[in-house]
């Protein structure tokens, strides 16, 4: 089980990488393998970071920054900044307070939390604790009737959007996790899935019940008929899929490779972003998920067409280190770094950020 949170954050913890190093010593090795690992050789996991490092910024001088702001509007709501919390499972693996501690930290920084289908806390509890209405990440389950009832619960709880994860009809083979023989500990379960018809176990992939009942574009249209909430499709890397999603009525796209956890050797999320932004031509808001570790990364994503970004593992690092305080501090670091990067590249507002922020030879 996770260690108790630190009473105070050490003064030398000043970056998201510092939080990762601190968290590693506070998480049981199997749980760390689950959190930090990715599919196969973890090439995509590393590329998510390396691709950001290859992009350079172009500083500007003597720009008017008197009306500087990071505010944005999405789906009829105002948000204080473009850093959202990505959906991640089982927060009690990393902190006794679980998702309730995470949402407390998010609320302190006016950040929107996306609650995972595999949260260990009921969506109603999390939504009540949030000051910014959360989003809910939905896997369309083989039990479609249960899925429809879950959507009703999400609406009744006050969530403001549904994030449909599309890139994981089955789990990737995460070798680091396999070597650590990680298993979700007793007493921890995806409580929002209680009562669902179980999927029979299978000893193969092709021909299994899981693939036979995996969702298709028809199911996305069906889901849209159940709710008036915005539907944001997560796990898009191909521009053709982005256009299909638009034609099926989604409200937004999340460019993501699932943190490298499903299929290895796919492109870094930031590498896939420009072609998708070009294809959609501003018709839908786009989010970038994967590899964000600095405010400069946020700026680069916005420059290449994202409206906002989502952050997953670093939030859990903050949670493991110092509970709600750690989550809030991780978000504060990113927001502060973003504001500094905007000021030094001469961009007072998010709409002012475009490709000219990036250095080109």
Contact, 119 vs 145, CB < 8 A? Answer: no
Task: Assess contact for 119 and 91: CB atoms under 8 A.
Answer: yes
DSSP code, position 260: G
Q: Is 95 a catalytic residue?
A: no
Nearest partner of 255 among 291, 281, 228, 227, judged by Cα: 291
Q: Which two tokens stand for residue 43?
A: 């090439």
User: CA 321, CA 9: separation in Å to the nearest integer?
Assistant: 8
Residue with tokens 């072609």: 275
**Long-range contacts of residues 11-19, Cβ cutoff 8 Å, at least 24 apart:** 13/321, 13/329, 14/333, 15/293, 15/294, 15/333, 16/293, 16/294, 16/314, 16/317, 16/330, 16/333, 16/334, 17/293, 19/314, 19/317, 19/318, 19/321, 19/326, 19/329, 19/330
Q: Is 235 left (phi over 0), alpha (psi -120 to 50) or beta?
A: left
Distances (CA, A) of 171 to 110, 137, 168, 262: 32, 16, 6, 6
Which of 91, 258, 317, 329 is the catalytic position?
Answer: 258
Strands 83-85 and 161-165 turn out to be: unpaired
Catalytic amino acids? 258
């Amino acid at each position: 089980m996770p260690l108790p949170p630190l009473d105070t954050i050490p003064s030398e913890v000043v970056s998201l990488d510092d939080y990762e190093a601190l968290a590693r010593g506070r998480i049981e090795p199997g749980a760390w393998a689950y959190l930090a690992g990715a599919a196969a050789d973890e090439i995509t996991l590393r590329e998510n970071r390396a691709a950001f490092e290859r992009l350079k910024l172009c500083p500007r001088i003597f720009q008017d920054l008197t009306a500087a702001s990071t505010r944005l509007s999405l789906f009829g709501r105002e948000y204080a900044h473009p850093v959202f919390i990505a959906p991640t499972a089982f927060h009690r693996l990393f902190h006794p307070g679980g998702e309730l501690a995470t949402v407390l930290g998010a609320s302190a920084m006016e950040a929107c939390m996306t609650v995972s289908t595999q949260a260990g806390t009921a969506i109603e509890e999390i939504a009540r604790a949030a000051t910014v209405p959360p989003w809910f990440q939905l896997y369309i389950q083989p039990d479609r009737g249960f899925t429809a009832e879950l959507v009703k619960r999400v609406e009744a709880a006050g969530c403001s959007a549904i994030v449909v994860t599309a890139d994981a009809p089955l789990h990737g083979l995460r070798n680091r996790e396999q070597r650590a023989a990680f298993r979700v500990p007793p007493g921890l379960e995806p409580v929002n899935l209680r009562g669902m018809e179980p999927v029979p176990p299978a000893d193969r992939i092709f021909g299994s019940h899981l693939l036979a009942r995996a969702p298709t574009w028809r199911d996305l249209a069906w889901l849209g008929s159940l709710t008036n909430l915005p539907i944001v499709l997560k796990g898009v890397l191909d521009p053709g899929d982005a256009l299909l999603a638009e034609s099926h009525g989604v409200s937004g796209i999340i460019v993501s490779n699932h943190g490298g956890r499903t299929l290895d050797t796919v492109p870094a999320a930031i590498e896939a972003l420009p072609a998708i932004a070009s294809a959609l031509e501003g018709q839908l808001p786009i989010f970038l998920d994967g590899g964000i570790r600095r405010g400069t990364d946020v700026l680069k994503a916005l420059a290449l067409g994202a409206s906002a970004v989502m952050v997953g593992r670093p939030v859990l690092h903050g949670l493991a280190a110092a509970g709600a305080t750690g989550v809030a501090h991780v978000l504060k670091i990113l927001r502060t770094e973003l504001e500094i990067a905007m000021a030094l590249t001469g961009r007072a507002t998010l709409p002012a950020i475009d490709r000219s922020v990036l250095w080109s030879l």
